[in-house]
Amino acid sequence: MTNRRRIARCVLACLMLAVAFPAASTQGAEMYLAASCTVGVSMALRCSTPHGKAAGYITATRQSSAPAQMSAQVNNLAKETPASPDEHAQQSQKRVTSYTLPHGTYAKARHLSRISFLLRVFLPFYQIALLALILRWGWSSKFRDWAEAASTRRIVQAAIYSSLFLLAFTLPQLPIAAWVHWLLRRYDLVIQGWASWFWDQIKTQFVITIIGTLVIAGLFRAIRRSPRRWWFYFWLGSIPVTLFFIFISPLVIDPLFNKFEPLQSHDPALVDSLERVVARAGLSIPPERMFWMNASAKVNFVNAYVTGIGASKRVVVWDTTIEKMTNPQILFVFGHEMGHYVLGHIPKGLGLLEALFFLLFYIGFRLSNRVLQKKSQAWQIRAPDDWASLPVYGGILLLLLFVATPLTNGMSRYFEHQADQYGLEVTHGITPDSGQVAAQSFQILGEIDMEDPAPNRLEIWWFWDHPWIGDRIKFALEYGPWSKGESPEFVK
């Protein structure tokens, strides 16, 4: 159950604004997004979108992670037969008292958790190292020279430099993304073929190059206009730009990667049930804002999310969710996502993140000045507004974002908990035993996405942007103000 934002770690500034938004809530989906993010798939505009960038980061036991040993373990674990749709249907009716996994699935989930943890720690520093090498080897200054030789127009220079820089930054990350894709295919979490996967990477590179060109051009325009206050003006300008990309993401960007159709045309009975939940909340979400997504063409995860803003805001239900969950369980999932909608989590999240980025941009401004004073000559950077200085700003921002991860994920976990509570309240009286239905929904989500059954609490605090499934099940089973004669908090 996501609030998808899709995280943009490879482009600077504006794209980075979405890194902190909520993303997939379990570890298989998390690794899939992490791999995509490695080459830029989770762009800023998944702003939580489905919003994206990234979630259930699970615990890691301290053992060797050499690729050869990992591959051997994966080959053994992958031999186990995944549950069939019929088995999923039977399991979805079982009474849930706590989060548990079958022995074979337990081993897989623990193994994935170790890999997920290593990726979460390794990727940011690997990306910073790539930026350092681009500077040290003189590639950034060469890209600048080629751009300036090709044209005197700044926007053309920005397009040339951005294209070369982003290509040099993302290509070394492609093998990691491909390995994770291979791993998840072995676990039967992802079914997307290699040709389709490579085509998605090409489309992603094309989109981030267009957006990156505009963002980078805006960044250096601000630096040239105001060398002392550029960080403030860039932050100020990033607000409407971010809102614009959140608006167009479900209309323009998401359809490049997945097929969306009106939910009414696929499951009119489900739409009728969803409208009962909407009416219970006193809202009006017309059927034309409810969409079905053909996720089964690429993944086996289940999900639903709220995305967009204003006229583009919509609720999306994956076809895998409809296939693997019962109607009452889907109503809870929908109620959870409607909670994000009703409780204003996207605008609240944006406001809090903009406040955080105000601070990060200022710190980045001070640190970048110090780095440029010491290293400009060695890296052939002429001035702070030189195109060649971009990796300096990008590396510092990546480091600051990593340090700020507990803050952004803590905010996300709080919003997700509120949405869980809202889902329980809005479905109470519509579905029988709504707490048990919610617990079953979480159990299905954990089993299919292989969420770690025994995560480390410190790791949850740092890396997870959703509460642990076990805690969510416990809350769903225990929450019940009605039995105590109390009034619920959100749905009166």
Q: How would you write 321-355 as a 3-class SS string?
A: HHHHCCHHHHHHHHHHHHHHHHCCHHHHHHHHHHH
Spans of the chain below 70 pLDDT: 1-92
Per-residue pLDDT, 111? 93
CA-wise closest residue to 115 among 54, 74, 154, 85: 74
What pTM does this model have?
A: 0.83
Q: What is the rounded CA–CA span in Å between residue 428 and residue 463? A: 32
Q: Edge to edge, what strands does the sheet with 290-293 contain?
A: 260-262, 290-293, 314-318, 304-307
Contact 12, 349 (CB under 8 A): no
Per-residue pLDDT, 306? 84
Per-residue pLDDT, 254? 97
Is the Cα torsion angle 197, 199, 205, 210 positive or negative in sign? negative
Contact 481, 488 (CB under 8 A): yes
Per-residue pLDDT, 49? 32
Residue-range domain boundaries for the chain: 1-492
Per-residue pLDDT, 202? 97
Question: Per-residue DSSP letters for 350-405?
Answer: HHHHHHHHHHHHHHHHHHHHHHHHHHTTTTT--STTSGGGHHHHHHHHHHHHHHTH
